[in-house]
Amino acid sequence: MTTRTLPKHFQLLPNEQLVEIVHPHWFAFYRTYAVWALIIAAGVVLFSCREVVASVFPSSHLDLPFSIINGLLSTNGSLQISYDLLSRSALDGLILVTAWWYVLILMGAFVALAKVNGGWMLVFLAIGSLSTAAGVLTGFPTWTPLFGAALCFAGMVMTDRYRRSHYFIITDLRLILYVDFFHLQERDLLLSRLSDLAIDQTLVGRLFDFGTLIPISLSGFGMGADMSMVGVGAQAGPLSVTGALGTSVGVPRARSPHVLFGVPDPHAVHAILEKLIYTNSEVKHLQTITDELKNMKFLTTNESK
């Protein structure tokens, strides 16, 4: 997606010419959309099968919820509750809420490990807390998974808003990576300082024609590392020896605010940047100076004749 509208609070330098403004493709954050869709599907399935869940859910798994509830009630001097004091509908609601929490914790742990980002676990815990509070306050605890699904729809909207907050501004002098989402992030790269421009296009990106361009500067900005390590150990009596060997390989990698993440038609954008990088490179400037000197020498020779 391209546009010609500059973001607020951003100004070009004097005599700087705007070439292109690019936003991430609408499907660029498909992994995040997949997480929201997974939670929505789990909530809808759990709510649809609530009667089956209530009939097969082990009662021993309710010990923790009961201890939490009784702990909260004891702070207010209230009576303790037990299985016998709950109606069938209230018990079914407690079972469904407990099952919902189990599902969220398991999915949260899986997503956090898959994305190597512990913050996702906090997101799942927040969804569980807010959906449980909504179920209790409305008096419909069995609807808790649906409230969680509704929160994930809001998450999809916020993800799209985050996508739209990315501005990749290409001028004749600079590459500006600008993100304005709650807090402002801006990275300016002089085209004359870029040494390479890597393309990363997944299978999904090839199907939908989008990919990530990773600008690599002379200082190494835009490079990450893949590391592998092996450890060995031995013990003989009271003595033990351990050691580790590892190696790392530099690879183009960076966060979405620091790369041209998920841009549509990445090869066309790559061609534009390659041309501008060459135009701003020292080799081009030296070639221009050489050509001018040759012209001056040619003119001087003609005048002397």
Inside any domain, residue 254: no
* Cα–Cα distance measured from residue 98 to residue 128, given in angstroms and rounded to the nearest whole number: 10
Specify burial of residue 2 (Cβ count, 10 A radius: 0-12, 13-18, 19+): middle
- Quick one: pLDDT band at residue 3, thresholds 50, 70, 90? low
Query: Where does the chain have alpha helices with state H?
Result: 30-48, 50-56, 63-75, 88-115, 119-138, 144-164, 203-208, 266-280, 282-304
For residue 71, the enclosing domain spans 30-161
| pTM confidence score | 0.74
Determine the angle formed by the axes of helices 63-75 and 88-115, rounding to 10 degrees.
Answer: 110
11 in any annotated domain? no
Q: Which residues contact 208 (CB under 8 A, 6 or more apart)?
A: 25, 27
Residue 15, in any domain of the structure: no
Confirm whether 206 is domain-assigned. Answer: no
Q: What is the pLDDT of residues 99-118, one digit of tens each?
A: 899 999 999 999 999 887 88
Phi, psi dihedrals of residue 15, rounded to the nearest 5°? 65, 10
Q: Look at residue 148 and tell me if it is in a domain.
A: yes
Summarised one tens digit per residue, pLDDT across range 137-169 is 888 888 999 999 999 999 999 999 999 999 999
55 assigned to some structural domain: yes
> Does the residue 127 lie in any domain?
yes
Per the structure, the count of domains in the chain is 1
In a domain, 54, yes or no: yes
